[in-house]
Amino acid sequence: MIHPWEHPHSDKQHDYRIFSTRIDRCTSPEDGSDHSFVVVESPDWVNVVALTPEEKVVLIRQYRFGTREVTLEIPGGAVDAGEGFLEAGCRELLEETGYAGEEAVLLGAVTPNPAFLNNRCGTLLVTGARQVSNPTPDINEIIEVELSPRSDIPRIIARGEIHHALVLAAFQWLDLWEKGLL
């Protein structure tokens, strides 16, 4: 049986605005030896699958600095202090696209990489999405909004046009919801 490690000591390291780092000194439950692990502390994230009344998915294109490419994704972002997934997702959808919906439901959440990240990423489904305002993205975001028929999403993924792992997880949550498994 696997047992949790003890965490007798953590040292904050660096703060990089969107995340910070710490070093955890941990004790092995098997032999009592101590080891150091780097942990990236990040706020939770949220992704939004927004469906229009015509069953079109609200997608966004934006430049991603990590991979240095323009990607096709769904709206999303960081959960601000004091927010839950639902509030953050509806805020991000409106800010990035100008869309709002009739109903929002949390489909589920994943741990993006529990080996070294401490956060979760929730996926919202927003139905009845309509454009209600102009987008108001963050100053460092240049976003183009696209609508795609829901039925085209599997082909778009298969062609590699959508390849962000957390967006793929969001569409898996949607598939589970549509099959009545959630």
Asked: is 45-178 a CATH 3.90.79.10 domain? The reply is yes
Tokens of 66: 């990590």
- pLDDT (average), residues 38-59: 98
State pLDDT tens for residues 60-105.
999 999 999 999 999 999 999 999 999 999 999 999 999 999 999 9
User: What is d(CA 119, CA 123) in angstroms, rounded to the nearest whole number?
Assistant: 13
Tell me the pLDDT tens digit for each residue of 103-159.
Answer: 999 999 999 999 999 999 999 999 999 999 999 999 999 999 999 999 999 999 999
**Burial tier of 145 (Cβ tally within 10 Å: 0-12, 13-18, 19+):** middle
Terminal CA-CA length for the chain: 29
The ranges assigned to domains in the chain are 6-41, 45-178
Mean pLDDT, residues 153-174: 98
pTM above 0.75, yes or no: yes
pLDDT digits (tens, 9 = 90+) for 8-28: 999 999 999 899 999 999 999
